[in-house]
Amino acid sequence: MSMAMNRDEINEVAYVGLGVPVQDAGFSPRSGFVANDKAHAFLAHDPAKAMTMLDGIGVVDTDGDGFRELPSGDTVTLDLKFST
């Protein structure tokens, strides 16, 4: 899911270009704490790779409605939260 997110666009829309793309707010360079390379892992926006990876774990669009389903058949639902 991380690779499916366009962090540059999110930064422009939600943070007026002032954000710093990282995996977790605790790893932000502004916090003074950057523990390791995990802060920058999987930041690249690569929707094709993300789709391939989701297909590989069985999260596919089984009914052709444009939404992916879990192997159980339930629709994948994400609850994304952020603060500005």
Binned at pLDDT 50, 70 and 90, residue 74 comes out as very high
pLDDT at 77 over 70: yes
Closest Cα partner for 4 from 65, 38, 55?
Answer: 55
Q: pTM of whole model > 0.75? A: no
pLDDT at 3: 86
- Give pLDDT tens digits for 19-63: 877 776 555 556 565 555 666 777 889 999 999 999 999 999 999
DSSP annotation of 25 reads G
- Residue indicated by tokens 């989701």: 54
Q: Provide the pLDDT confidence category of residue 70 given band limits of 50, 70 and 90.
A: very high
Q: What residues pair up with 69 in beta bridges, in sequence order?
A: 60, 75
